[in-house]
Structure 1
Amino acid sequence: MTDADVLDEFRAAGALLEGHFLLSSGLHSPLYLQCARVLMDPARAERLAQALAAKLPAAVQREAQAVVAPAMGGVIIGHELARALGCLSMFVERPSGTFELRRGFALAPGTPVLLCEDVVTTGLSSREAIAAVEAAGGRVIHAAALVDRSDGTAELGVPLTALLRLAVPAYRPEELPPALAALPAVKPGSRRA
């Protein structure tokens, strides 16, 4: 699947949005990729996950015993990626502001884990999820994402494979271009703070 194919999937789902968006990272952007919308069609989610699985290094495809995704955004793509790889699917969530494995999910010490995100912007959420996996005994060997909107600049502490890499501008509140500042900011993601 090419970058154009992936963007076509987002367009077809009405999931490629333009305007003024406040990202979970606190940054502002004129472009938002609504992964929940692109993944609402199970056939599309399966296609995207299979394409992402095929891009992973062969060693990761062989070694990963579990895919762990941060809730809420990574749950669907994480599940589909685990299905494509034939391994377990789990997620971390923030019941008290910090990611943790719950709901009876457990990792044996040293379990090789593939972290799966929907979108990576700064890498902060991914790093927090990796810390939670490691605190639970897992060993994150790689990360995967539908979209890396940092265009490869986000540092996760492990290699990252993304189905689509984009250089999407993101601005701190004090650095907004006038045209973007003139538009009301919308918070389309799952986190309110």
Structure 2
Amino acid sequence: MQKSPQISAGIQDMFSQSTAVLSQPSVSTFERFEQRGGVQQAYIYVMVAAVVSALIAAFFALFHSEVTFFGQLFSRLILVPLGFAVFTGAVYYIGKALFKGTGTYAEVAYTFSLFFVPMSILGTLIGVIPVIGFLAAILISLANMYFGFLAVQSSMNIRTNGEALALLVLSGVAYFLVSVIVGGFLASLFIARAVLSGV
């Protein structure tokens, strides 16, 4: 029995696949790799981005009194994989329900991780630079939309441009709503802690 390709990808393989995806962006490039790994590989890769981003942000937090070292460290370790899970989950479920997408969640998660991880690390690196960081964040967001547009067509087999774009927009709305809820919950915890500690 032949070994499944979904258990073959290691971190080094995924970095080389990310390089290919970023340097030769197309639906066919994503299709070349969409079955090289599964959900486990995708989330291990995303955790690499979370750890690197957390360490970078935490280091620069040492020089800014308005943010804390541990706040940056733990928030990124939690929010980066959570945000990835929410967005890719929305792509999969909305794609299946509304656009008759035929991909699997493993294909969606793995495909999206290939551009999400390097772009996330790049965004954190550039984001700590005043002024430039803001402009870079806009460019990185636009790049993520473009790569996401290609990844949706590949992983969910939705080839109509309008449907692929609509799926991305709806997934973005779902991500925003969940972010507001989670953000509100975290803010209430912070306020409650401040009240209890008498700050």
In terms of fraction of residues, the more strand-rich structure is 1
- Report if TM-score (shorter chain) is over 0.5: no
In terms of fraction of residues, the more helix-rich structure is 2
TM range (shorter): under 0.3
Q: Structure 2 length as normaliser, TM-score? A: 0.26
